[in-house]
Amino acid sequence: AGRIQKSREPKVVLSDKDHFMNAFDRIVKELVKDKEQHPKELLDYLDEMCRYNIPFGKLNRGLAVIQGVRSMRPALLKDDESFFRICALGWCIEFLQASFLVADDIMDESVTRRGQPCWYKLPGVQVKAVNDAMMLESLIFVVMKKYFNRHPKYVQLIELFHEMTYRTCKGQLWDMMTAPIGEVDLTKYTMERYQHIVKYKTAYYTFYLPVACALTMVGVEDSKQYKIAETICCEMGEFFQVQDDYLDCYADAKVLGKVGTDIQDNKCGWLVCQALLIANKSQLEVIHEHYGRHCEESISKIKELYVELNLEEMYKKYEEESYLKIKSLIEDKADRVSKGMYTWLLGKIYKREK
């Protein structure tokens, strides 16, 4: 009996996150075992580039694919290889995100990301980061081909990633055209523009993409279901970005993991768009004089104005209303099978503090 006891492996229950992280390691190892003959130095750089930029943050985008499949067709997670493939698809989204973040940090001239130096700031990287952003995007399709090339939805998945990449690029472009570095033109900061930017630069790849991946994997073919997903996900995406903008100014820096800089960086965020909408003439002057400046005095002036305008309260009201709106969208539009996935996603973002 002792022997039998000994030969039994202790039963370790892995969480989705554990499975997901293990899959990352396998994916990168297999990427670096390139079928092409490349010098070790090149492959080491690739490995480092992936590990520095991809497996960080909350990973909610990738995990949402697993969660979506779990709530719609859990049988797909029973078999190890099938579970791995769902993880790989989730990682494709995180590769895309990494590609956009590497590029975004260069364009925004950012210094840190997730508490460490931005990739392009590393002495061994610098301008190569531009190529790395393109490489990260390429890697999506290397991964996709490796693990999905015989999957019946292979083409649909590829087209989905292409389309989301294109939309995100357009969102980034519109964001930068609205708020160019070193140029303050607040007449462009309208709520309408804000909503358009946010939908394209954030909502599609952050919410619609994981949801559409999950729908595709579980075999949903009805285009109506994808339209509904788009409606719900774009609402969530706006909600998520408004929170992001609010947290940038009001969150505890220790919890958030960074000190917000949207005010001095002249960002077209929800707070300033809201302020411009309700400010009186003298308050408008304060905004025009102090927004987008780096001195402490200007930052304080803007923060004081936000207090004067009760923006924190307006945000709470927006959050509550938006939450209810999304809840009822889910109630009204989502079918029985997908409801759980949307509710899980909403739960992930509602009242978040980071």
Q: What residues line the site for a copy of itself (CB under 8 A)?
A: 36, 38-39, 41-42, 45-46, 99, 103, 106-107, 109, 126-128, 130-135, 137-139, 141-142, 145, 154-155, 158-159, 162, 165-167, 169-170, 172-174, 176-177, 180-181, 193, 196
Neighbours of 1 (CB within 10 A): 5
238 near Mg ion, judged by CB under 5 A: no
The contact pattern for Mg ion, residues 100-139, with x = CB under 5 A and - = no contact, is: ----x---x-------------------------------
Could you tell which of a copy of itself, Mg ion, none binds residue 248, using a CB distance below 5 to 8 A set by kind?
Mg ion
* Binds Mg ion (CB under 5 A): choice among 66, 248, 279, 318: 248
Could you tell which of Mg ion, a copy of itself, none binds residue 31, using a CB distance below 5 to 8 A set by kind?
none
C-alpha Rg value of the chain to the nearest Å: 22
Q: Which residues of 323-336 are buried (b: 16+ CB within 10 A; e: fewer)?
A: eeebeebbeebbee
Least Cβ distance, residue 127 to a copy of itself (angstroms): 4
Give the single-character DSSP code of 266. Answer: T
Least Cβ distance, residue 51 to a copy of itself (angstroms): 16
166 vs 321, which CB is nearer to a copy of itself?
Answer: 166
Could you tell which of Mg ion, a copy of itself, none binds residue 233, using a CB distance below 5 to 8 A set by kind?
none
**CA 303 vs CA 19, 246, 287: distances in Å:** 43, 12, 10
Tell me which residue of 236, 242, 174 sits closest to 206, measured CA to CA: 236
Alpha-carbon gap, residue 9 to 60, rounded angstroms: 31
Alpha-carbon gap, residue 191 to 193, rounded angstroms: 5
Alpha-carbon gap, residue 31 to 288, rounded angstroms: 50
* Binds Mg ion (CB under 5 A): choice among 16, 132, 235, 244: 244
Contact footprint for Mg ion (CB under 5 A): 104, 108, 244, 248
